Structure 1
């Protein structure tokens, strides 16, 4: 039934779009006709319709952006200056609370750790794998296997890694892969995700595992776009493999590396699912998005504090997103 509902929804959506574009263009041509008029009037109406017609195509997207992006942003900013129920204006009290709240400071620190580790390692592993798989005959098979985690939801990935980090009391049979390896080498099993500070890195591994495939695909395409002449010239000059890779190839795709890095950075700032599914923010693993969820929807909900945390996340994301868009525009040859 779900498959049928999805197919019906897609067909209805396509038909609705077709009807919308046909109807709006028909009305536009009816209001500003160009047929049967004198040259000057027809030319004027053509200019008007040509100026309006692109906005007819953009209108549904602009409407959706307004409803699902612009309005929530404005509403979040408005709520951040109001009390728990979002009714009474309290000024900057919610932001004062954030600066003095230990859990918020812990979340900021954890997000900073994620920002340092995840984009760097995901991009690095993606670059190395992209370079290596281009040199072996089974490289496409390897790329497919490495890219597969991208098809898994963050919650699904967290469930998989819960089995890897699973802990049983010492002396019991360990079903968690990591503890089974530790015990096999004579070590003691650990409840890995309950270890303060270090559990952040165990959670980061999950996102690195997912995002390395994304970085690999983008950087592999960039590496293949490097002119062969530059590499051949380096070989003739006596450069070895490492020098060619780090001094010839990497500088030529630095713009793409930066775009991949910042794209993953934006994702990291919004990380939520993995922390919620693995630790629910316990054992000092809280991050900003999870803290926002807790204040907004749990314990009766505090719209003011939840919204103020959402505003902080938005402020952190916007500069990186703008820089990323500019970089991507330059990379594609735009202005």
Structure 2
């Protein structure tokens, strides 16, 4: 591509400038490390400098900007103080989103961990363990948007006199029932969205927990078996306590992912029929209704909710080493 062609495309030209600038920073950093004094933490800091710069520009500054916007009006011009936060805890729609998010946070990690644990315990000693874990892990290869579309078809509704295209209503009709609008009727529709999330994440839990169960020392379980312990007692009193660190990692990872849930809700119901969550309400307020301040307040709240969980997860992983 010639320079004239590039010059006619400003976006491409800006991208090239950015790539060249970043490459120049990296080269200068490596040169400074190579020729500079190799004492203490100087070289490490120089090598980390480009990454820290990118994190500052791409994460820290936007975060501070969002925090500032949360105290301003919808146009981002007038200072309104804590009005956006007051709205968030008084508006029925925002309160519904908070309640639904709490429901997700309680149900999804619990169900994902339980399903993954039971599945892992069932297949970990099987000859077909690799195949079984591969099958349960397949949904993770699908994006949340793809999973939402799949389950939207599963719950699809048609009038009783029409041919059903949804698997669930097809089964209901086959057993003589009446088709239902599963994604419309609240509050059950939230539970059906949760099922889609559990389907995508159960494989993650199963693989991690199967790995943890497989490294439980066989001498301990064999000694318990010789002492007369039943398989159920061995599982609950020996295996489960020994894999507790992995269980904790799975639960915390699912809590973090669930608090930020957006794609499945957006794809399946678009937040309608009382299924909105914090992340989706943030999107609606900021981009659909033009209420930038309210969207920013919801984003800050989401950050505040996730941060303690992330900190606890990091601490738990360090203590497990």
TM (normalized to structure 2)?
0.90
Report whether the alignment pairs 1:282 with 2:272: yes
Check the 8 A contact 2:29/2:47 in 1, yes or no. Answer: no
Q: How big is the shift at 1:19?
A: 7.3
Q: How big is the shift at 1:258?
A: 1.0
Report whether the alignment pairs 1:26 with 2:39: no
Aligned positions of 1:279-318 closer than 5 A: 279-299=269-289, 301-318=290-307
Residue by residue over 1:93-150, the C-alpha shift from the partner in whole angstroms, topping out at 9 and shown as x without a partner, is 1111112100011011111111111100101111111111112212211111110111
Report whether the alignment pairs 1:185 with 2:175: yes
Match of 2:98 in 1: 108
User: In the superposition, relative to structure 1, how do residues 14 and 261 fare at CA in structure 2: closer, same or farther (>3 Å)?
Assistant: farther
Aligned positions of 1:67-146 closer than 5 A: 67-146=57-136
Report the Cα distance in structure 2 between the residues aligned to 1:18 and 1:221, rounded to whole angstroms: 41
Residue of structure 1 aligned with 2:243, choices 253, 259, 267: 253
Report the Cα distance in structure 2 between the residues aligned to 1:83 and 1:100, rounded to whole angstroms: 17
Report whether the alignment pairs 1:328 with 2:317: yes
Residue of structure 2 aligned with 1:236, choices 226, 231, 252: 226
Q: How big is the shift at 1:16?
A: 9.5
Q: How big is the shift at 1:21?
A: 4.9
Q: How big is the shift at 1:227?
A: 1.5
Check the 8 A contact 1:288/1:313 in 2, yes or no. Answer: yes
Match of 2:10 in 1: none
Stretch of structure 1 that moved more, 139-148 or 54-63 = 54-63
Match of 1:42 in 2: none
Report the Cα distance in structure 2 between the residues aligned to 1:170 and 1:244, rounded to whole angstroms: 50
Report the Cα distance in structure 2 between the residues aligned to 1:16 and 1:231, rounded to whole angstroms: 59
Number of residues of Structure 1 aligned to a counterpart in Structure 2: 304
Match of 1:46 in 2: 38
Q: How big is the shift at 1:27?
A: 2.9
Report the Cα distance in structure 1 between the residues aligned to 2:23 and 2:114, rounded to whole angstroms: 45
Stretch of structure 1 that moved more, 152-161 or 51-60 = 51-60
User: In the superposition, relative to structure 1, how do residues 16 and 210 fare at CA in structure 2: closer, same or farther (>3 Å)?
Assistant: farther
Report the Cα distance in structure 2 between the residues aligned to 1:123 and 1:99, rounded to whole angstroms: 31
Ranges in structure 2 where 5+ consecutive residues have no aligned partner: 1-17
Check the 8 A contact 1:21/1:56 in 2, yes or no. Answer: no
Report whether the alignment pairs 1:170 with 2:160: yes
SS of the equivalent of 2:102 reads helix
Q: How big is the shift at 1:51?
A: 2.2
Check the 8 A contact 1:79/1:307 in 2, yes or no. Answer: yes
Residue by residue over 1:50-105, the C-alpha shift from the partner in whole angstroms, topping out at 9 and shown as x without a partner, is 52111122122212221222122211111000111111111111111112100011
Report the Cα distance in structure 2 between the residues aligned to 1:81 and 1:23, rounded to whole angstroms: 40
Report the Cα distance in structure 2 between the residues aligned to 1:271 and 1:163, rounded to whole angstroms: 20
Superposed CA RMSD: 1.9
